[in-house]
Amino acid sequence: LVITWIRDGALSTWNASATTGFDVPVESVISSVNGCSGDVLRMREQLREKVVVLEVVRPDRWRKKLANMSKLSMLPPGSPLNAVPLFTASS
């Protein structure tokens, strides 16, 4: 799940008090919600729980990883970073 916007709520409150480097900027990737990963529908369901524990990857980290993967020929040459699937939803 990629964070595309942040409205008033728990995440904006977290960001307001987070120390440098621990805030969650837009375009961060949520890799796990309450221990659930790899299933976007389940992850989204978990976001509605009263207590939510997130594992988040900041944009600079996942972009760097994708760039390194491209250098190792793991991605087709010229693939735009925003076209690379990060998660596959299962039904």
87 exposure class (CB count in 10 Å sphere: 0-12, 13-18, 19+): middle
Task: Give the whole-angstrom CA distance, residue 75 versus residue 79.
Answer: 7
Q: What is the pLDDT confidence band of residue 62, given thresholds at 50, 70 and 90? A: confident
Neighbouring-strand partners of residue 2: 29
Any idea which residue has 């837009």 for tokens?
A: 26
Is residue 65 pLDDT above 80, yes or no?
no
The reported pLDDT for the residue numbered 71 is: 65
pTM for the predicted model, two decimal places: 0.67
Q: Identify whether the C-beta of residue 41 lies closer than 8 Å to the C-beta of residue 89.
A: yes
Task: Give the whole-angstrom CA distance, residue 33 versus residue 42.
Answer: 9
Is residue 85 pLDDT above 80, yes or no?
no
Average pLDDT over the chain reads 79
